[in-house]
Amino acid sequence: MTNLSEFSSQLADTAEAVAASLVTVHAARPISGSVVGDDLILTVAHVLNGDEVTVSTPDGRHLTASVVGRDPGSDLALLRAGGLSLAPLSPAPAPRVGELLLAVGRPERGPQASLGLLRQSGLERGWLPAGAEPFPGVSGGALVDVCGGLVGVLNAGTPRRGLLAVPAARALKVAELLSQTGRVPRGYLGLATQPVVLPGTGAVGDMQDTPQDGRPPQEDGRSPRGPWDRAWGPEGRGPWGGRGPWGKPGPRGGQGPRGPWDREGGDPRSAGRGRGRDEDGRAGGWGRGPRWPEGTRLGLTAVQVETGSPAAQAGLKVGDILLSLDGEGVRHPRELLERVQSRAGDTLTARILRGGEEQDVALTVGER
């Protein structure tokens, strides 16, 4: 019991120490901000409406902070508050599976914390699952290890459910770029792709009858169903219901959720399939259509490689199938875009399938 009490006391001490480097950001709704440098604060961008915002410090001061820049790719914004005089958080080593983590925020009512457990290795579309319960105002707060080292900057307003964090290394890089230039270069590969079901993985139907984009035909031979929504629809609607894949309006007829480019959220009659609302009031959520049979592998087949692009320089060719980036699978072109748009200049390990054999390719993300 003594050891447990000591451990509990240590967690409380850690939460208190971390909270001393957090501020309250009075945005569209009160959120948290993590101090990462002299007068510099990282917070989430999606609730900041103007170029200035008021922040409250742990000692009760109210300061005006200017928005230095925003990064849509990570949903982070960098604030500068003159005279802040708070110690910045220090990055921690990469956490291991099974490690306890603390989600610490400073909403209006004062410091709050939630205990989590890192349940898996790797990232989910560039995000680190916090393994902790979200609470109002946690976004912009700090995900830390039991010693108080910064593991990530929290965000409860992502398209995916649950409390996630931008990994500390990426968050601090974003802060550095924003402080220097006010922007984060947008990454690109110069690669056009479409989803494909990999042969021999238990996909529905005969692979020879499967369209190249990986959508198995229905039993009645009509419009195919895909993994990202319920149906493509008899009237030629796109895979996200009433809007086609390029965002052009289609016949809704009261059916189908809105797509990932529609910021207004999902049709309430399509519960569980469209984009809902999260704790921070932000539309989010990938379509939740029927699952592929267990064992099915999806990849992205290259249908076009731009001449002179990063993809071409890495040796990628039309017909190559992209399986993963840095060990994390990619199943949709939109997901690929999200994964690379904030990684300009980074070199990723791309696993591809070419001629029936898997191989790793070093792929440096370009900038534009």
CATH fold for domain 1-184: Thrombin, subunit H (2.40.10)
- What pLDDT does residue 160 have? 67
Contacts (Cβ under 8 Å, ≥6 apart) of 155: 44, 75, 127, 139, 140, 163, 164, 165, 166
- What pLDDT does residue 165 have? 94
* 56: alpha, beta or left? (left if phi > 0; alpha if psi -120 to 50): beta
- Phi, psi torsion values for 6, nearest 5 degrees: -65, -40
- What pLDDT does residue 201 have? 54
Domain segments of the chain as ranges? 1-184, 185-227+290-368
* Superfamily (CATH) of domain 185-227+290-368: PDZ domain (2.30.42.10)
Using the Cα atoms of residue 352, residue 357, residue 360 and residue 364 in order, give the sign of their dihedral.
negative
Strand partners, 298: 197
Mean pLDDT by 10 residues, the chain (368 residues): 85 97 96 97 95 96 97 93 97 92 94 93 78 95 97 86 90 94 89 87 41 40 38 34 37 37 31 36 39 74 96 96 92 88 88 94 92
- What pLDDT does residue 88 have? 98
- Same topology, domains 1-184 and 185-227+290-368? Answer is no
